[in-house]
Structure 1
Amino acid sequence: MAFDSLTEKLQNVFKNLRSKGRLTEADVKEAMKEIKRALLAADVNFKVVKDFIKNVQERAVGQDVMNGLNPGQMVIKIVNEELVKLMGSTTTEIQLQPGKAITVIMMAGLQGAGKTTTTAKLAGKFKLKGKKPLLVACDVYRPAAIKQLQINGEKQGVEVFSMGENHKPANIAKAALEHAKKNDNNIVILDTAGRLHVDEDMMQELQEIKETVEVHQTILVIDAMTGQDAVNVAAEFDQKVGIDGVIVTKLDGDTRGGAALSVKAVTGKPILYVGMGEKLSDLEQFYPSRMASRILGMGDVLSLIEKAEAEIDEDQAKQLTQKMKKNQFDYNDFLASTQQMKKMGGMSGILGMLPGMGALGGKGLKISDEQTSEAEKQMARMEAMIYSMTPEERENPDLMNPSRKHRIAKGAGVDISQVNRMVKQFNEMKKMMKSMNKMGRGGKKGKFRLPF
């Protein structure tokens, strides 16, 4: 995630605080200096950092904290609360028109921020909520912008309205609204053109659209990778066109992420969603409290549960549970479980949401990027080996013998030792499941190490 470096630096500060039985004012000030450096390195706006440190320090040197039983823990609690406040405290929904009235949403942003893809992602979110969105291709300048929106709209099962490249965006928006009224669309999402930088032509075009049709929500898409520049762009858009909220993209990448911490404080406009990947499902509603927990290394179990509910096939999960209970877990199930994990963002996506993965005070298990990458490679090799099995071998793991293993190794392009290791891990997983099932019926606890 974008905040990995910041998380690591903050954890080191908190580890030092927790190691001290009592805190002096000098201890707190030194910790604040380190936190300030960490936030600035994450590209958080300087004024935002200055105000944040001031607020934390004023609360942290109070009598209740300094004389408390666990002052280090109290300082961490204050930092968490101030982070939440900085990002907006409450979760903000996109405001829709009441009843059957059509809501017009205009998407804006610079070229390269991922606006067109995000527009399609947002339409998918509305569709899942039972709405009937209409995507509108108003970017008549960028080559293939209309085609990109049409492809993504088709993947989401959402209609795309287009009049080609020879019409003014304001006229396209007006025609789209008429189309929506005739076809019972209750949300119209306008994908407008981006530029390499903010210019008067862009702003004029957005203003013309607003003058031609009633736009209820103007949402700005900003790229987390551009750091403080993203916040400056947000401030300029708000001043010249007026925005109601922000979507921050590419927050899953190797970026410093300062935009997510700065945009609300600088513009006063809330972050609505964050883009956490390239798939059309990788758009998460923004919860300030959950993001603060992730930044501090406390995990985000609620988002993980929601992701699981959205991505995992419920019937398949029930069947898998029943097979586990009956100890009928086979290689097909093993393959299905790895594919479900991929849908949820892979090993790195899941670990990033689990508390204790780099936990505060150094007590948790810290999984490095290299270890995560190796685990995902190992999972890919396992998949290749299972795909090299016959259907009978997948359904009946007991058929496995040396000649079959050699054939599987050859088919998957791996050494025989890796096939042996995979078979051993699979058997250990079955033992562990059998043991857990016994525990559920009052049996003795079994001690088995995790297969990964």
Structure 2
Amino acid sequence: MFDGLKDKLSNFREDAEEVAEENAEELADQPDDEAADTEAAAADSAPEDAPATADAAAPATEPAGEQPDADDEESSAGFVSRAASMARGRVVIDEADLEAPLRELEFALLESDVEMSVVEEILDQIRGDLVGEERKFTESTDTLIEDALREALLSVIDVGQFDLVDEIESTSKPVTIVFTGVNGVGKTTTIAKLARYLESEGFSSVLANGDTYRAGANQQIEEHAEALGVKCITHEQGGDPTAVVYDAVEYADANDVDVVLGDTAGRLHTSDDLMSQLEKLDRVVDPDVTVFVDEAVAGQDAVNRAREFDEASAVDGTILTMADADSQGGAAISVSHVTGKPILFLGTGQAYEDLEPFDPDALVDDLLAASDD
């Protein structure tokens, strides 16, 4: 899962680690007396009570007519500062040194269908964590780079995360969960998978087919219900979707069923009549959780649709199907940041058991683990 993205992140780590190690080696290769001289020079040029860092170091004033080239002056000052840091057992990564690896990372993330604003957030976070900061030289450079990359990824992935099981446990029963999204992304199958998952967590459920427009929708969800051994509420094709979900809530309340899982017709956010039905459903049934479902392999399209659905009819979280077939990982990286709402589950196969709770920390661990192979 997301193997292409893993490879791209591994390439960045290797490039960034090489930059840090080259800086350290450049300083370590100096003769001891030269390192001592540069430390003394940096200390002499710094204001009193100021640490000898890249900002504090300043070149000596040159006689008139002998002013050094500005680029040479800046390079010399940076080298003196790094040498002084090295003499104290510390190392500084300069922005110019890191710019090439960051540029390659930017291209790699965009190629993986990570949304532009998410890419910018990741790059800014890495710069903020690494550039210009003195680090203990005893720390390995690979640890420094990995930690920065880990924090940057988590900053965009771990957004408003909540555990659906905890939500159900703390909410008055029956809990109503409604599913939205476009056609053909696996909403109905995902509902069946969630019913099985909730059963494993000790919750009973009833299915409701609010997709009253698609031919064969009743048969599809009824087959899932029969295979799972759960009740399914349906109306005739063309009926009112809100009435179907409402009847399911009434059934659950009367029969002590914990959760109502309501399917809806696939729609585009621009389908005014279908979006108005969602508004009616929200008004009449007032679902506890609204879930947007899309395919992980849809990449940027899934990200755009998540944003549009959330703007048209606010969602509480996302389930991405076909994550096992997705090499790029753009949707998994981007959806939470773009919507401000968490990914709740990943669909990882065709069986009812192939639904995994989404864990941002576990995902980042997996993305970074590949580079250690």
In the superposition, the TM-score normalised over structure 2's length comes to 0.75
Residue in structure 1 matched with residue 260 of structure 2 by the alignment: 188
| Structure 1 runs (4+) greater than 4 angstroms displaced | none
Runs of 5+ unmatched residues, structure 2: 24-92
Paired with 1:232 and 1:150, the residues of 2 have a C-alpha distance of: 31
- The alignment partner of 1:221 has SS state of strand
Tell me which residue corresponds to 2:305: 233
Deviations 1:266-288 (Å, cap 9, x if unpaired)? 11011111111121111100000
Q: 1:14 is matched with which residue?
A: 13
In the TM superposition, 1:45-444 aligns within 5 A as 45-65=115-135, 67=137, 69-88=139-158, 91-94=161-164, 95-96=167-168, 98=170, 101-195=173-267, 198-296=270-368, 298=369, 358-360=370-372, 364=373
Residue deviations 1:359-381, cap 9 Å, x none? Answer: 33xxx2xxxxxxxxxxxxxxxxx
1:281 aligned counterpart, secondary structure: coil
Shift of 1:33: 1.2
In structure 2, C-alpha distance between the alignment counterparts of 1:286 and 1:153, rounded to whole Å: 25
Rounded to whole Å, the distance in 2 between the matches of 1:244 and 1:222 is 14
| Structure of greater relative contact order (alpha carbons < 8 Å, 6+ residues apart) | 2
Partners of 1:90 and 1:208 in 2: CA distance: 26
What amino acid does structure 2 have at the position aligned with 1:174?
Answer: Y
Q: Which residue of 2 aligns with 1:43?
A: 113
> Within 2, Cα distance between the matches of 1:240 and 1:17?
41
Higher-Rg member (1/2): 2
SS at match of 1:242: coil
| Aligned-partner Cα distance in 2 for 1:199–1:100 | 33
Residue equivalent to 1:31: 101
Alpha-carbon distance in 1 for matches of 2:159, 2:241: 36
**Cα distance, 1:182 vs. partner?**
1.7
Hey, what's the Cα distance between the residues in 2 that align with 1:155 and 1:295?
Answer: 35
In the TM superposition, residue 116 of structure 1 has moved relative to its aligned partner by: 0.6
CA distance in 2, matches of 1:255, 1:164: 40
Partner AA of 1:212 in structure 2: V
Q: Secondary structure at the match of 2:252?
A: helix
Distance 2:270 2:301 in 1: 11
Provide closer, same or farther for how the CA distance between residues 128 and 226 of structure 1 changes in structure 2, counting only shifts above 3 A. same
- 1:4 corresponds to 2:3: yes
Residues 207-229 of structure 1 deviation map (CA, whole Å, 9 limit, x = unaligned): 11112212111111021122112
Structure 1: unaligned runs, 5 residues or longer = 299-357, 365-452
Q: Give the root-mean-square deviation of aligned CA atoms.
A: 2.0
Q: Which moved more, 1:37-46 or 1:10-19?
A: 10-19
Using the TM superposition, give the Cα deviation of residue 254 of structure 1 relative to its aligned residue in structure 2, in angstroms.
3.9
How many corresponding residue pairs?
300
Structure 1 equivalent of residue 89 of structure 2: none
- Whether contact under 8 Å (2:252, 2:258) holds in the other structure is yes
Deviation at 1:83, TM superposition (A): 0.7
Aligned-residue identity in percent: 34
SS at match of 1:215: coil
TM-score (norm 1): 0.63
Quote the Cα distance in structure 2 between the aligned partners of 1:182 and 1:50: 51
Quick check: 2:318–2:344 contact (8 Å CA) kept in 1? yes
- In 2, distance between residues paired with 1:90 and 1:239? 17
- Give per-residue Cα distances to partners, 1:46-66, cap 9 Å, x unaligned: 111012101111211142348
Find the aligned partners of 2:300 and 2:342 in 1 and give their Cα distance. 16
Alpha-carbon distance in structure 1 between the residues aligned to 2:105 and 2:323: 21
Contact 1:104/1:188 (<8 A) preserved:
yes
Letter in 2 for 1:359: S
